Amino acid sequence: MFRLGQRVILVSDSFEQGYPIGEHAYLIGRDRNPDSAFEWVVRIPKIDKHFPIVEADIALEEKLLEQEAEKVQREALLDHALATRNEALFRQLMGMQEELTDEENKEAVKETPEEFIRKVNIKAWI
């Protein structure tokens, strides 16, 4: 997944070594010692230090940016669904798309937009 020279971001500190979480780093070596828990050696240019690190503590910058973009997009769609009172879009985004029986479909159709907004506000309050 990673290769030498690649730019990564420190996302956690599994062994509590005092890593500067959120900083950019470069992979400068791979620790192939079977007795070591650390898999990579990274260099953090901002503080000019090298750290041994496990693979779970680093992530690619591109992946983090993609995740953040998806999160922002989902939040924008939720805001739009609530502003336009689009119940179908809201249920789809919240993962509430379940197979409804005919009886439940009839009840869902009878529900007014005001009742839907009231239910959403009650759930948001909790």
CATH number of 7-61: 2.30.30.40
* Residue boundaries of the structural domains of the chain: 7-61, 84-125
Above 60 in pLDDT, residue 105?
no
Q: In which order are the strands placed within the sheet that holds 40-44? A: 49-53, 40-44, 24-30, 7-10, 58-60
Rg of the chain, C-alpha, whole Å = 23
- CA 100 vs. chain centroid, Å, equals 30
- Taking only the tens place, the pLDDT of each residue in 11-24 is 999 999 899 999 99
Tell me which of 109 and 115 has the higher pLDDT: 115
